[in-house]
Chain A
Amino acid sequence: MAMRGLTVFIADIRNCRVRELEEKRINKEMANIRTKFKEGSLSGYDKKKYVCKLLYMYILGWDIDFGHMEAVNLISSNKYSEKQIGYLGITLLMHENSDLVRLVVNSIRKDLDDNNEIHNCLALHAIANIGGREMAESLAGDVHRLLVSPNSKSFVKKKAALTMLRLFRKHPDVIPAPDWAERITNIIDDYDLGVCLSVTSLITALAQQYPEAFMMAIPKAITRLHKVIVERDFSADYVYYKIPIPWLQVKLLRLLQYFPPTEDPNMAEMLHNVLQTIINNSQETPRNVQHNNAQNAILFEAINLAIHMDCESDIVRQATNILARFILSKETNVRYLGLETMAHLAAVTDELDEIKKHEETIILSLRDKDISVRRRGLDLLYSMCDVSNAKTIVSELIRYLHIADYALREEMVLKIAIMTEKYATEHSWYVDVILQLISSAGDHVGEEVWYRVVQIVTNHENLQEYAAKMVLHYMRSPHCHENMLKVGGYILGEYGHLIANLPGASPIEQFNTLHARFGLCSLATRALLLSTYIKFINLFPEIKGAILAVFNQYRHVLDAELQQRACEYMAIATMPTDDLLQTVCEEMPQFPERESALLSRLNEKTNMTEDKRTWNIGGKDSNEKTPANLLAAKEKNENGNVDDLAAALGNAGINTPSAADEATPKAGLSWKDQLAPGYEVWYNRLRDGTDGVLYEDSILQIGIKSEYHGHLGRLAMYFGNKTHTQLNSFSVTVESPEGLVIASSHTLATSIGPSTQIQQLYSLECQQILTDVPLIRISYQAGSIQSIYLKLPVTLTRFIEPIQLASADFFGRWKQIGGPPREVQAIFKSSERINLEKARSVLVNNRMGICDNVDPKPGNFVATGVLNTSLSGKVGCLLRLEPNRETDMYRLTIRTTSDVVSKHLKEILQSALL
């Protein structure tokens, strides 16, 4: 890196006493560089030196309009130092939309393809720093390749993940994230925690956009957390103040919050374990500040996740106790986070009792010296408010409103108004509170608040008199806010007559109260009051004279709106008959019920940030739109839609199964197309037996053992690693057909050591008649990611119990079932010479009980069995197989009590006999 010329130049510039001298020096140097560049045939060293000088001038703020090409040329140099300066040059000199980006894309691609990982890293840096659309479009694929390639070094992977994250944030549409989801997700299993950390950041961003595609990250994240937290499997480099890689823990916990709670019981169990461990670990507060911070960061994220998973669980209960301790903490940050997390809990749970115990502490937090803590306290109070404690909270908030920070008041008023409206048990309380609110914090009361008051008073007849009385009372107080005047003007105009007989509320007194403040308020309010006055003329003809004087006066006011109103009202009021006046001033009809404008106003305020919130402030109902819940709801809808669609198709009588298939892009359907080549051999062999090899290649051997009893079955799978290296990122996914429930007993290890075998047990339950077999997908990393798709030999016949019937019984039932559709017959030619022993074993293996001596003709087989399902009951199966040894033909006749079973049994047996 030592470049004497550069050092001298920098020293010269620094020695310049004034700008003018610096400019001279710069001009001179630029001219020198221009000459050198023009001459061409510079050595790499010289080029590097001059580009460095240009960069130095550039970062001093001088305009550089040449030398870009030289920087681009440096990139293709083989020397690290030259390449580095080249990249530095382009990242500094080019902006993302620069035309020159086109020139460097190829060089960058070449460096990405390079075997030298340092070159890879330089290229990745450049991509992340420039990050234009063009670059993203042409290079995202290469970045992805580096990320997932097994040959990439850990630090290349880290950088690739972060580069991809940057590209995704800038141009989300360029990254085909769903297509890459699987391979990216697998990297969570990487042995290097740093890689895992970077990838988790990437996945967190991607998963927010494409939640379905990244569902498979859930088990990976949970397993990883389990490994780090419970099994304590981590490298010592990543321990931060005794805590293993807190950043990764927090990120994974956060990632899980973007997904709906997992349904897999094993995973749930594992996660529970993880969360429990975290909570146990944080029972005591460490002395060291950093240690404490790291521990708390994890704990808070864990509590948030626990709340997200199941807000009534035992862990949440423990967490509530911890939170209670935190909100009393001396440290502001801890108090803040405690309150926020508690607000999260309050926002989603139905069980507010636990939180209510701490109501006093929370109310005290409103007097915290830190405004952000106060704000969180307010959020929590708002979230935990329900009918039982609304009155206390509201009165407490109103008391606090007077001393609250100005920045907080508007939000408080809005929240008080919402709570009062939502949880009011009696209307008079509502009116009291809102009027008190307007009178005491009028400046912070938005328009929506008083609109809402008017709506509610108008819609509740029993409230009107009380409201009118209270309004009049408030307007007589010496400090009356303009908003109060607006409410008062409207309510008295409508319902003033209801209180006209009370002492101190006679028409003229009402009018005087309003008019006393008329001159001091804004034009809009005055216009409203003029309308009130015309209503008064209708209600109280006795004060017409006083009011007409006001109208008369305002006929000459400058404001057009006021003038128009005054003139029109004057004209109406002085008409010979009162008919028009009465029609115009008829009592207001009730407002149609509509969504409170307040809530929409409040939600407006929650702004979008880079990482979306996982919950909203407010009660349970306001939380139905969080990302994870939306996802769950969307899934339901999608299934629902598909069913509807299928039903619609069926009703219309259009037999287009392909269309229906297209409409249901389920993973299983696409799997079928990818079944491992040659799987049939093993599959067919296993179809007739219970144990054996399901699949074998040079790397992996998969064996199966199974046993069945009635509608239940157990299946053990053995995965053997035939190589001498470890297989990583091993995962098995089973896609079960409708009617079959497959549960795994434990979570499979994610790696298989060299020449070892791992086992997985599945329990099977046949709930309905099966029409298909389960599919299994095995993926692992050996070099690159490999995936194998296989059929599992769990057919309908596995759930048949063989029975033996005597001849009379058999024929009795045979007749009872009768002909088609419950009878199915097939005549087919055997591919080889008919062997009676083989035919017999096929039947036995398919669990049919062979009844000897039933068929009069020897050589024919008669067999019976009962199919067991847990939900659809039992289905009796009878069959008759007539081999014709001369022509090598079979005739198979099956009668069962279900036409579906008949059809499938026929297919299974026919293919076995062929």
Chain B
Amino acid sequence: MISALFIYNQKGEVLISRLYRQDLKRSIADIFRIQVISNTDIRSPIITLGSTSFFHVRHENLYIVAVTKWNANAALIFEFCYRVINIGRSYFGKFDEEAVKANFVLIYELLDEVLDFGYPQNSETETLKMYITTESVKSERAIMEDSAKITIQATGATSWRRSDVRYRKNEAFVDVIESVNLLLSAQGNVLRGDVTGQIMMRAYLSGTPECKFGLNDKVLLEKDPTNRKKSSEAVEIDDCQFHQCVKLGKFDSDRTISFIPPDGEFELMRYRTSDNINLPFKVHPVVTEIGKSKIEYRILVKANFSSKLYANNVVLNIPTPLNTTGVICSASNGKAKYVPADNSIVWKISRFQGQSEFMLTGEASLTAMTHKKAWSRPPISMDFHVLMFTSSGLLVRFLKVFEKSNYNSVKWVRYMTKAGNYQIRF
């Protein structure tokens, strides 16, 4: 399994180095730095050099690298790497170089806990927080009690939840966050379009509640004859994965999502859809090269969602040729300016009402080039957040909570769509 775990900064300096097995030397860290970080040709996340495999994940300005000498399960190792990032984020807020440098001891402690002889152990943040804390040491007795509980919990049926949680007000928050990936050809055809979504849940529920969760999943709705008529609004989910608390046996048999939630925030589910995507924005770019010294831009953006909704932080990156000297542009809404560092015009619109339509006109002047090279016309890319809108059309139909004490609980659902890789060629 995982023989060693390293964390490097962007320059390739080793920040964290933890060896779990005897089959590697510490100097293996240099090999990764030389072969991967310094070598710009290699961008693959898995490199096998000789009998040693390096799995790396980049986060902020860090490389999280797991090294193994075995033919280990790559998916498991990557999942573990992302877990490490999640743990880091929930402990330090932001998991970057500064955070690592400020928390060496804590990170080593965490790494000792989540991996044992290279085998992943409990990596549930909430559980870890029970015994690896940043706070001052409590009294002997409290520790004794806590540690007894930890043992019971870690070996019990629901290792992710303590049994003695009590809240005065029982609440559950569900966030559906989708990111839209789009690549539109210059002719307006969709070359690639899909939505990756995650359902985040924050559960503040007492006891050990059993939750049932319902989506407008097409497969499920078609199964139920009474809901046939509604199936047109259903969503076809290509692929999904769940938090470990979800009972997969039940999902497999009747596609119901039922679980005992961990306490606090967790990611309940991830999914992907690629059919019937509602694109939140339509972009009509008209870019004409006038002679060799000028380019005219007319970019029209239209919001395609209900006029009751609005989008925040809409940013369009409109590329300019490499020999641009300056751009004069004006936008009907928002601010547009030429950013030479990125070789693009950046158009920012802070609030974009649904169904509205904005226009940018601009003119880039070009300088002569020694070697005439055609402009590659890279695509326009776009960034945005739209609240209460899902591109996939996914809706939460119900969330039911059953507990022995039968208390009433309040549930909140929130939707958000943001741009993933939203690109339009012209």
Chain A residues engaging chain B, CB cutoff 8 angstroms: 17-19, 24-25, 27-28, 30-32, 34-35, 37-38, 65-69, 100
Query: Which 5 A-B pairs give the minimum distances between C-beta atoms?
Result: A31-B340, A24-B341, A28-B341, A68-B370, A38-B325
In the complex, what residue of chain A is closest to B369 when comparing beta carbons?
A: A65
When the two chains form their complex, are residues A65 and B370 in contact, meaning their CB atoms are under 8 A apart?
Answer: yes
Q: B341 touching A27 by the CB < 8 A rule?
A: yes
CB of B141 within 8 Å of the partner chain: no
What separation, in Å, do the CA atoms of A587 and B107 have in the docked complex?
89
Set of chain A residues within 8 Å of B367, measured between Cβ atoms: 34, 37-38, 66
B342, A27: Cβ atoms closer than 8 Å: yes
Beyond A24-B341, A31-B324, 20 extra complex contacts between A and B, CB < 8 Å: A17-B11, A18-B10, A18-B11, A18-B61, A27-B342, A28-B340, A30-B340, A31-B340, A31-B343, A32-B340, A34-B324, A35-B326, A37-B325, A38-B365, A66-B323, A66-B367, A66-B368, A68-B370, A69-B370, A100-B370
CB distance from B371 to the nearest CB of A (A): 5
B373 at the interface (CB under 8 A from A): yes
Interface membership of chain B positions 253-287, coded 1 if the CB is closer than 8 angstroms to chain A and 0 otherwise: 00000000000000000000000000000000000
Q: B395: which A residues are within 8 A, CB to CB?
A: none
Contact: B10 with A17, CB < 8 Å?
A: yes
Q: Are B325 and A65 in contact (CB under 8 A)?
A: no
**What 1/0 mask marks residues of chain B from 292 to 334 whose CB sits below 8 Å from any chain A CB?**
0000000000000000000000000000001111100000000
List residues of chain A with CB within 8 A of the CB of B371. Answer: 65
Report 23 cross-chain contacts, Cβ distance below 8 Å, ordered by A residue. A17-B10, A17-B11, A19-B40, A24-B342, A28-B341, A30-B340, A31-B324, A31-B341, A31-B343, A34-B323, A34-B325, A35-B326, A37-B367, A38-B326, A38-B365, A38-B367, A65-B322, A65-B373, A66-B323, A66-B367, A66-B369, A66-B370, A69-B368
Cβ–Cβ contact B323 & A65, under 8 A: yes
Q: How far is the CA of A285 from the CA of B36 in the complex (A)?
A: 54
A27 to B319, CA, bound (A): 13
Smallest Cβ-Cβ distance to B97: which chain A residue: A17
C-alpha spacing A68/B369, complex, angstroms: 9
Give min CB distance, A437 to chain B, whole Å.
42
Q: Is the interface of B mostly helix, strand, loop or mixed?
A: loop
A12 CB → nearest B CB, Å: 12
Output the least CB separation between B123 and chain A (Å): 29
In Å, the complex CA distance between A17 and B37 comes to 13
- Cα separation A834 to B322 with both chains bound (whole Å): 97
Q: How far is the CA of A475 from the CA of B70 in the complex (A)?
A: 52
A35 to B323, CA, bound (A): 9
B residues near A, CB below 8 A? Answer: 10-11, 40, 61, 322-326, 340-343, 365, 367-371, 373
Min Cβ gap B279→A in Å is 29
Give chain A nearest CB distance to B36 CB in angstroms.
Answer: 14
Inter-chain contacts of B370 with A (CB < 8 A) = 65-69, 100
Nearest A residue (CB) for B293: A38
- The interface residues of chain B lying within 8 Å CB-to-CB of A24 are 341-342
Contacts of A67 in B (CB 8 A): 370
Q: Which residues of B contact A32 (CB under 8 A)?
A: 340
What distance in Å separates the Cβ of B367 from its nearest Cβ neighbour in chain A? 5
Give Cα A290 to B323, complex, Å: 55
* Closest partner residue, chain B, to A29 (CB atom): B340
Give B331 Cβ to nearest chain A Cβ, in Å.
20
Which residues of the other chain, B, contact A35 by a CB distance below 8 angstroms?
Answer: 325-326
In angstroms, Cα B43 to Cα A19, docked, is 14
Residue of B at shortest CB range from A66? B369
CB distance from A94 to the nearest CB of B (A): 10
Q: Is the interface of A mostly helix, strand, loop or mixed?
A: helix
With both beta carbons as reference points, the residue of chain B lying nearest to A64 in the complex is identified as B370
Q: Which residues of A lie under 8 Å from residue B323 when comparing CB positions?
A: 34, 65-66
Residues on the B chain within 8 Å of A100, using CB: 370
B contact residues around A27 at 8 Å (CB): 340-343
Which residue of chain A has its CB nearest to the CB of B327?
A31
**Shortest distance from the beta carbon of A19 to any chain B beta carbon, whole Å:** 8
User: B10, B324, B371: which has the most chain A beta carbons within 10 Å?
Assistant: B371
Q: Return the chain A residue nearest B343 by Cβ.
A: A27
Within the complex, what minimum Cβ distance (angstroms) separates B327 from chain A? 10
Kindly state the separation between the CA atoms of A25 and B340 in the bound complex, as whole angstroms. 9
Provide the bound-state CA to CA distance between A226 and B325, in Å. Answer: 66
CB distance from B137 to the nearest CB of A (A): 38
The smallest C-beta distance from A112 to any residue of chain B, in angstroms, reads 25
Nearest Cβ distance between residue A594 and chain B, in whole angstroms?
A: 54
- The CA-CA distance from A24 to B344 in the complex, in Å, is 11
Look across to chain B and name the residue whose beta carbon is closest to the beta carbon of A19.
Answer: B40
User: How many Å from the CB of B60 to the closest CB on chain A?
Assistant: 12
Distance A34 CA – B371 CA, assembled complex (angstroms) = 15
Q: Which of B322, B367, B373 has the most CB of A within 10 A?
A: B367
Closest to A31 in B: B340
Quote the shortest CB–CB distance from A577 to chain B (angstroms): 69
Q: Which of A27, A31, A65 has the most CB of B within 10 A?
A: A31
Q: How far is the CB of B146 from chain A (nearest CB, A)?
A: 42
Which of A19, A24, A69 has the largest count of B CB atoms less than 10 A from its CB?
Answer: A24
Q: Whole-angstrom distance from the CB of A856 to the nearest CB of chain B?
A: 99
Q: How far is the CB of B98 from chain A (nearest CB, A)?
A: 13
A28–B338 alpha-carbon span in the complex (Å)? 11
Task: Specify which chain A residues have a CB less than 8 angstroms from the CB of B365 in the assembled complex.
Answer: 38
A69 to B368 alpha-carbon distance, docked (Å):
10
In the complex, the chain A residue whose C-beta lies closest to that of B370 is A68
User: How far, in angstroms, from A100 to B325 measured CA to CA in the complex?
Assistant: 23
With known contacts A18-B61, A66-B368, A31–B373 Cβ distance under 8 A:
no
CA distance A38 to B365 in the complex (A): 10
- In the complex, what's the smallest C-beta–C-beta distance from A336 to chain B, in angstroms? 37
Q: Which residues of A contact B369 (CB under 8 A)?
A: 65-66
Which of A17, A18, A38, A69: most chain B Cβ within 10 A? A38
Residues of B within 8 A of A30 (CB): 322, 340
Closest chain-B Cβ to A265's Cβ sits at a distance in Å of 63
Distance of A32 Cα from B325 Cα, bound (Å): 7
User: Given known contacts A17-B11, A66-B367, A66-B369, is B326 in contact with A25 (CB within 8 Å)?
Assistant: no
What is the minimal beta-carbon distance from A889 to any residue of chain B, in angstroms?
Answer: 84
Residues of A within 8 A of B61 (CB): 17-18
Q: Which of B10, B40, B326, B370 has the most CB of A within 10 A?
A: B370
Query: How many angstroms from the CA of A692 to the CA of B371 in the assembled complex?
Result: 72
The residue in B40, B61, B326 that gathers the most chain A C-beta atoms within 10 A of its C-beta is B326
From B10, B341, B342, name the one whose CB has the most chain A CB atoms within 10 angstroms. Answer: B341
C-alpha gap A34/B320 in the complex (Å):
13
User: Chain A residues with Cβ under 8 A from B341's Cβ?
Assistant: 24-25, 27-28, 31
**What is the minimal beta-carbon distance from A106 to any residue of chain B, in angstroms?**
18
Q: How far is the CB of B117 from chain A (nearest CB, A)?
A: 35
Determine the distance from Cα of A100 to Cα of B324 in the docked complex, in whole angstroms: 22
Q: How far is the CB of A41 from chain B (nearest CB, A)?
A: 15
Residues of A within 8 A of B322 (CB): 30, 65
Q: List B contacts of A28 (CB < 8 A).
A: 340-341
Most chain-A CB neighbours within 10 Å: which of B61, B325, B373?
B325
- Which of A34, A35, A67: most chain B CB closer than 10 A? A34
Alpha-carbon separation in the docked complex, A32 to B324 (Å): 10
- Bound complex: CA A66 to CA B323 (Å): 8
B residues near A38, Cβ cutoff 8 Å? 325-326, 365, 367
CB distance from B101 to the nearest CB of A (A): 14
Query: What's the minimum C-beta distance from B38 to chain A, rounded to whole angstroms?
Result: 11
Q: For the complex, give the distance between the alpha carbons of A68 and B370 in Å.
A: 7
Query: Taking the nearest CB of chain B, how far is it from the CB of A61, in angstroms?
Result: 10
A38 to B292, CA, bound (A): 14
Task: State the CA gap A614–B253 with chains docked (Å).
Answer: 91
Query: How many angstroms from the CA of A17 to the CA of B12 in the assembled complex?
Result: 11
Closest A residue to B373 using CB positions: A65
Q: Contacts of B340 on A, CB cut-off 8 Å?
A: 27-28, 30-32
| A18 to B40 alpha-carbon distance, docked (Å) | 12
Find chain B residues with CB under 8 A from A68 CB. Answer: 370
Expressed in whole angstroms, the Cα–Cα distance for A30 and B370 within the complex equals: 14
